[in-house]
Amino acid sequence: MNLHAVHASPIAAITLDLDDTLWPIWPTIARAERQLHDWLAANAPATAGLGAVALRRWRERAAAEHPQWAHDLTRLRLEAIRGALGEAGEDPALAEPAFEVFFAARQQVDCYADVAPALERIARRWPILALTNGNADLARIGLAQWFSAGQLGAREFGVGKPDPRFFAAACARLGLPAQAVLHVGDDARLDVAGACAAGLRTAWIRRPGLAAAAEHADPPQADWQGADLIALADWLGA
């Protein structure tokens, strides 16, 4: 189906989710946690001895005690490390360098094979703005060249998807009305339902093996859905 046949006005820009849309996030996080543990073992051995479960427990505790930080994954992770250090009787000031080890490893993503060729095609025709609830750094990852409109993160803005204010801020940054923007993401609730509610058009990336984790009790009606970005580029006519 041709995009212009569905809507009277053409797509003028694209907002694009990152985690699980461009790369699988959980293998990345698991690797980053292992590198964090190795650093703690060398610099804060009592904290390392608590194990990964303790760090996850502290992260859950930080999220429960500070719901106002829900949009700020960096702060939650830092608070979890600080809490674990305190529990082990070690210097809480080690939280900052420990987090930097985790954060550097968090940027070592393994992009899906379709990402680079598809972004190259799409970026030739439309400005792309990364719109993410996570804390990926496109410059450190090496993808920034395709995001001519930059990156907007929940941590920077103060709320994240599916809040309509976040999508409205993305449209404002692009200087476009919502109906001229296509949001692309993998999560039915955060990306598709959220963007639909804010008036954007939507493309739902449903990668094999990830669909179950991103399902929605009442699946929204996306403008398009498919398995990868190459299929999206074909649909867009890029």
Does residue 177 have a cis peptide bond before it, meaning omega lies within 30 degrees of 0? no
Residue 17 is among the residues annotated as catalytic for this protein: yes
Helices (H), 3-68: 3-6, 25-43, 45-50, 52-65
DSSP state of 121: H
Q: How far apart are CA 6 and CA 9, in angstroms?
A: 9
DSSP of 178-203: GGGEEEEES-IIIIIIHHHHTT-EEE
Q: With contact defined as beta carbons under 8 Å apart, do 73 and 135 qualify?
A: yes
> Residue 19, SS3?
strand
* Catalytic choice (17, 163, 186, 223): 17
Instruction: Give the burial class of 4: count Cβ atoms within 10 A of its Cβ; 0-12 exposed, 13-18 middle, 19 or more buried.
Output: exposed
Helix (H/G/I), strand (E/B), else coil: 180: helix
Exposure letters 188-221 (e unless 16+ CB within 10 A, then b): bbbbbbbbbebebbbbbbbbeebeeebeeeeebe
Q: Residue 76 and residue 57: Cα distance in Å, rounded?
A: 12
Instruction: Tell me which residues are annotated as active site.
Output: 17
